[in-house]
Amino acid sequence: MSRKAQITHKPEPRYTEEARKNEVTGTVRLRLVVTADGKVSNIVPVSRLPDGLSEMAIRAARHIKFIPAVKDGRKVSQYVVIEYNFHIY
């Protein structure tokens, strides 16, 4: 039995006042490991945004909840790439 990791909760990052003032919008893409024991580790930005938005995305990603990947019936760690979109409404 094999299954990819499934994200069950992905908290939204907060906008920084600096980014709001400068009207920064776009996407932060993060590569991270979801571990076999249910933790998020090795968060590396693949694409960034200025004014603290990349840091806010990393902070939010640390709180992602997920069901670990399974390979041959055992829980395993898996790399995933996630995106956070920042838009001013």
pLDDT at 49: 98
Summarised one tens digit per residue, pLDDT across range 34-51 is 999 999 999 999 999 999
What string of DSSP letters covers 24-85?
--EEEEEEEEE-TTS-EEEEEEEE--TTTHHHHHHHHHTT-EEEPEEETTEEE-EEEEEEEE
Would you tell me how many other CB atoms lie within 10 Å of the CB of residue 41?
11
Work out the percent of the chain whose per-residue pLDDT is above 70. Answer: 100
Contact 59, 13 (CB under 8 A): yes
Query: What's the chain's average pLDDT?
Result: 96
What's the confidence (pLDDT) of residue 88? 85
Given a contact cutoff of 8 angstroms between Cβ atoms, the answer to whether 45 and 29 are in contact is yes
